[in-house]
Structure 1
């Protein structure tokens, strides 16, 4: 269905409001506009005649068509924002979306490499050090070891300052989300790999290099995209099906700690989660692993 003049004018005006009034990016404004055009085609009435019942029917149709929960959540946010704005500006008589709710988003369990897969990944990185022997191979081994040992976010790892590593306490201090500082333990293998890299960091550094632990190949700050590529390549080298990104190493660290008996609050502090509820996802991961082991091994499972 082609947009009516009424829908077209309102969507264009709302897009201008999002861009100039709220300073949203061009990509975000385009996504919101697309959601509203799809709504207009689905309800087949002018904006002022849209009812809550029609909006709920639109959501139901999307759900039956197999739309992802995250997609539905975003579209509900788009529609609620649009009608709140339109009603506030007096462009529609009332706001039909005030009671519109998206279905609760299902929580997906994160993909977590096993301890054996982590061992294979580190073994592949160590083999590269032996084969190539250059400082970047040492950097990459240290990067993988530190990510798995500490559970740092990749952005935290790239911003890690040279003074953040405390060898005496075997720990590293990082600035996490919201500017919150936390101290995280580091294992001996991670510290050993870190020392090996730092011993040759000067071969990569330049006078203009930042005072960060990890550097890019040309001596600049390590780009998070490069760090992700390093992890993908290291895990890919560990064998078929082993490839994961940096966040999976964070998941693995937390899951393996809980499997080993660490309490939830301690893991929460190490990960820098604001709420323990976020950390609880890893208890579900370990429970699923126990169930899988039970089903596989128990004769009457």
Structure 2
């Protein structure tokens, strides 16, 4: 718990208010195995909640009522916070109060039932199949770094990995004989994903170069730099952006576009939403369903251009 208690941000609040928050964050870290980034996000939102209780002279958590949570939401709306930001704040508060109810410190959750503003759906940005083929063909493999970058791009597109998942990949996570990879996803949940034939071929080529770069040193990271270090998320982002510019791809090429494109192209071909959910490691099918909206957009374009009565 020391990591939270040492935070100077707590010092402006009453200890009896802060202590349950610190214990909740520790619970997320120790019991729920949440990542440090997720815990930092919770901490940021709960500090806003603490500030609100201080401004409204709410001296303990039992004094917080649903009307206060609505006022909190309204306050941040007036300050210009986006619907997504307010939703994150309410979600963090709801989870915190659930924890207090579970601990029998509160009788009820004041944030339960308080709805966040409706968040507009932003459809994931994808790359068309022909553009992705041009990109993957356009990565120059005459140099060793190009072989590595092509293996990264092919694996992104083949298996729909998140950037953090690819960065974490170790050599023993890859099963070349079975053409699969073991992925550590969000919430430290493991899943096994298939690795396509072309991606597997480029990875094998990279492994030969990786062996030379390591010069006999032992390292588990699948993708490394010439300095024998594990590639960082920012390094991979910059390399993919570089190749996007080289081949003249429209828009900035972010690693997540490979993931979105993988999901969309599989769904367009198979229509199997459950399979895409398993591949992407989504906990809820509703998260995967956003790709059906993309599929519908494509259908609408085809309809508009092909149906005799679509336009006059």
TM-score band, normalised by shorter chain = 0.7 to 0.9
Q: Distance in 2 between matches of 1:52 and 1:163?
A: 47
Unaligned runs of at least 5 residues, structure 2: 1-11, 30-38
Give the secondary-structure state (helix, strand or coil) at the position aligned to 2:261: helix
Equivalent in 139, 151, 160 of residue 125 of structure 1 = 139
Q: Which residue is 1:223 aligned to?
A: 232
Unaligned runs of at least 5 residues, structure 1: 1-7
- 5 Å matches for 1:1-301? 9-10=13-14, 13-19=16-22, 22-23=25-26, 28-37=42-51, 45-47=56-58, 52-60=66-74, 62-63=76-77, 67-77=81-91, 79-80=93-94, 81=96, 97=111, 99-103=113-117, 105-126=119-140, 129-130=141-142, 133=143, 135-158=144-167, 159-161=169-171, 164-166=174-176, 171-177=179-185, 178-188=188-198, 190-239=199-248, 241-295=250-304, 300-301=310-311
Residue pair 2:213, 2:226 contacting (<8 A) in 1 also: yes
Residue pair 1:35, 1:78 contacting (<8 A) in 2 also: no
Residue pair 1:15, 1:33 contacting (<8 A) in 2 also: no
Residue pair 2:171, 2:220 contacting (<8 A) in 1 also: yes
Q: Distance in 2 between matches of 1:155 and 1:94?
A: 37
- 1:167-213 CA-to-partner distances (Å, cap 9, x unmatched) read 5x5x223133344341414133x233223222322221133332443
- 1:27-55 CA-to-partner distances (Å, cap 9, x unmatched) read 754542234435765xxx43267653354
Residue pair 2:87, 2:117 contacting (<8 A) in 1 also: yes
Give the secondary-structure state (helix, strand or coil) at the position aligned to 1:252: helix
Q: Distance in 2 between matches of 1:68 and 1:137?
A: 40
Q: Distance in 1 between matches of 2:97 and 2:111?
A: 9
Residue pair 1:176, 1:182 contacting (<8 A) in 2 also: no
How many pairs align?
A: 280
Offset of 1:71 from its aligned partner?
A: 1.2
- In our comparison, the structure showing a higher alpha carbon Rg is 1
TM-score, length of structure 1 as denominator length = 0.74
Please report the RMSD computed on the Cα atoms of aligned residues, expressed in angstroms.
Answer: 3.7
* Cα gap change, 1:75 to 1:163, in 2 (>3 Å): closer
Q: Distance in 2 between matches of 1:100 and 1:151?
A: 35
TM-score, length of structure 2 as denominator length = 0.72
* Cα gap change, 1:286 to 1:55, in 2 (>3 Å): same
Offset of 1:286 from its aligned partner?
A: 1.1
